[in-house]
Structure 1
Amino acid sequence: FDRKQLMFYYPEAAMQVGATAAPQLRYLRDHCADVNLITRRAAALLGLPIRRTSTGLNTSADQDAEVIGEVETQGIRVIILPGTAHEVQLGLTQTLVVEQAAMYDVLIGNDQMHPVADAITQYPVAQLHVYPNLLEHPKYIVSIPMTTVKLPTKGAIVTHKRVAFVACSSSVNPSHR
């Protein structure tokens, strides 16, 4: 209880980007990030179209982080709990492509999850709560068990041009590598 966790891993197959299922990918929900990030390998595996971008990226965790492109988001969906009765589909928001990342294959930011007003509870276990249809059914909540990030690390993301400042401190669990 000494430190609030802000980054959590989704369980296997709980998230999907695009039409291709890839349950082996590590999806990380970062409540400090406004933009999504995806590794080049994950984008290729998912068959996502990548375009050039002038958006830059700086992180305190990786000073050499380089944006190598941006996913062309038109027509691409993020699917929460694909193939279940609770499936929710959202249009993909801005997603920057990076060469590689130690903690994740796909990082899900706040803008992406805003339509489902997600929130996290951490006790007794971490759970992400989403509201699939907040306007018509505000009491309908879907809860997803999450895995906390474990080892100390610091992270901050600053993007330039069209994206807000993001900063957070959390941890990484090497078993998720």
Structure 2
Amino acid sequence: MQTYLPHHLRVVIGQLRVSSHQLEIERGRSRGVPREERWCPVCQTEVESEEHFVIRCPTYLDLRAQFQIEESFQLCMTMGDQRRLGCFLTAAYERRERSLQYIHQPRVSTQQTITQFFQRVELHQRGPSIGLTLHQAEAQRARRRPRMGGYRRPRLYQEDVSRIRIAYDHMMEHRCTTTP
């Protein structure tokens, strides 16, 4: 904390520390995917947690060597020069985004049926299943909080707005005359 860090490096380190990032461990949690199914979309070897992303993912091996990232996640997060960690995270996030853009390019023609699409995905898939099954989607929908019906926010009419303005002006005038 005694070293000056540019704003973008402070942000990227802070996001990693408070789990406000786009790694699969958090994205899957918000979608209700079980923890053991939140695989790394880049390497497909294990769950994409913060520790996997920074220390173990083979995709960023050369970046770890370039920025001299420690072997332990705890040492990495407490190392003296946080600038190296911030630069590593920035470069790793950029590489992750580029590789995910390549992976998620549309490969399905619009003439295919939904069944054909899912059969194709199952044939070429290396890791855990992507997306939700119909049963999982129905279960998530059932767990949603029902919307509150019948309530609408009251709308202010022109007379109400003018009365509020007059009262505010009167209050401000009274305040100005009483303040020495």
Which bracket does the TM-score occupy, shorter chain normalised? Answer: under 0.3
Q: Which has the higher contact order (CA 8 A, sep 6+)?
A: 1
Larger Rg: 2
Q: Which has the higher helix share?
A: 2
Q: If the length of structure 1 is used for normalisation, what is the TM-score?
A: 0.23
Q: If the length of structure 2 is used for normalisation, what is the TM-score?
A: 0.23
Q: Which has the higher strand share?
A: 1
